[in-house]
Structure 1
Amino acid sequence: MGELVEQVDDQDRVLRIVERGEAVRSGWLHRVATTVCRRPDGRILVHRRPHTVSRFPGQYNWLVGGAVDVGESYGDAAARELVEELGVRASPKFLFKYLCRGAVSPYWLGLHEAVITDELVVDPSEIAWHEWLTPDEFQEARQRWSFVEDGLEALRRYPLDFPTGGNPTQAPPASTRTE
């Protein structure tokens, strides 16, 4: 049996447990937790996915994350993914969530932010290349490189120029900020 996730409704309430592959194929809503990784000086982690992966091969992303496991919170999933993909332990700060229509299938996306000071030990099956970019370098790269579309959708909701990420004066409506 494949990876199990919670199928949720349009209000992010659990309906039942399903295989993630089936949720994706059927277009059922499920949960994904992502994290924007920043250095204390504001640089943002950007990475390229391996050409061998099934989803978004060779594309760039600025988010690290994956599916929320059954019974897991968005925050716990975000922290687990940081360990799995980057080899770092951190306590990601929950910023907001929203219903992402997704390039592959729809899902609720919980966006977090973590300031990372440790050296990364990336999982090569998830990350083929990575670099810490200034917000200006990142904006330039966005124009030149092929980024995962779902990540670009999240970027439209996240102001890069705020010193530590999401601007609390421009937070999404309260209904989307709960974890």
Structure 2
Amino acid sequence: MNESGRSADEILDVVDEHDRVVGRAPRGEVYARGLRHRCVFVLARDAEGRIFVHRRTPVKLVFPSLYDMFVGGVVGAGEAYDEAALREAEEELGVSGLPRPSHLFTFLYDGADRTWWSAVYEVRCGLPVRPQAEEVAWHAFLTEEEVERRLGEWQWVPDGLAAYERLRAYRAGITGRA
């Protein structure tokens, strides 16, 4: 999740259990008080269909040094999920001119001490990526099989792992495969 160039003063929408805006607060306050807000998760694939996987830098505010199979971040106050998905994908991949990510589904992530509405997207990135060094310590494009093998080996961000598990269930429902 992108934190560079964004400050604790950035204003976020605070939302209720039905994803309705009930207020606004600075990001720092939202995090400190565990207020429900909105995030986007974008599964980025290269031209061969492999998934962009990265390890977050140790200086990240949320889930430092863990692996993630999504790029994304918080949705700003008044910003649409679709706008945030494109902005975050381009920022984190270090590219411009991506096609608009396709929205797949939205779910309420309920972590141990945090909760947020999570819109899951997918995008094809045929461009060379240049991830932000302050955000990404390591990255590679991995096949689905490689990602599946690493699920039990690497430490993953819990919200990304929850989104990936829901994505597998979503795809199984669409395709009829388990």
Equivalent position amino acid for 2:27 in 1: R
Instruction: Find the residue that maps to 2:166 and give its secondary structure.
Output: coil
The CA deviation at 1:170 is 6.4
Correspondence list, 1:48-67, <5 A: 48-67=55-74
| Native 8 Å contact 1:47 1:62 kept in 2 | yes
TM-score between the two structures when normalised by the length of structure 1: 0.86
Q: CA offsets, 1:72-92, max 9 Å, x none?
A: 111100110112111223210
Among candidates 38, 46, 49, match of residue 42 of structure 1: 49
Identity of aligned residues (%): 37
Structure 2 match to 1:169: 174
Structure 2 match to 1:15: 22
Structure 2 match to 1:148: 157
Root-mean-square deviation (Å): 2.0
Structure 2 match to 1:95: 104
CA distance in 1 between partners of 2:9 and 2:61 (Å)? 15
Runs of 4+ displaced beyond 3 Å: 165-168
TM-score between the two structures when normalised by the length of structure 2: 0.87
The change in CA–CA distance for 1:75 and 1:82 in structure 2 (over 3 A counts) is same
Structure 2 match to 1:118: 127
How many residue pairs get matched? Answer: 167
| Native 8 Å contact 2:12 2:75 kept in 1 | yes
In structure 1, list runs of 5 or more residues that go unmatched.
172-179
Equivalent position amino acid for 1:119 in 2: P
| Native 8 Å contact 1:25 1:105 kept in 2 | no
CA distance in 1 between partners of 2:159 and 2:79 (Å)? 22
In structure 2, list runs of 5 or more residues that go unmatched.
1-7
The CA deviation at 1:94 is 0.6
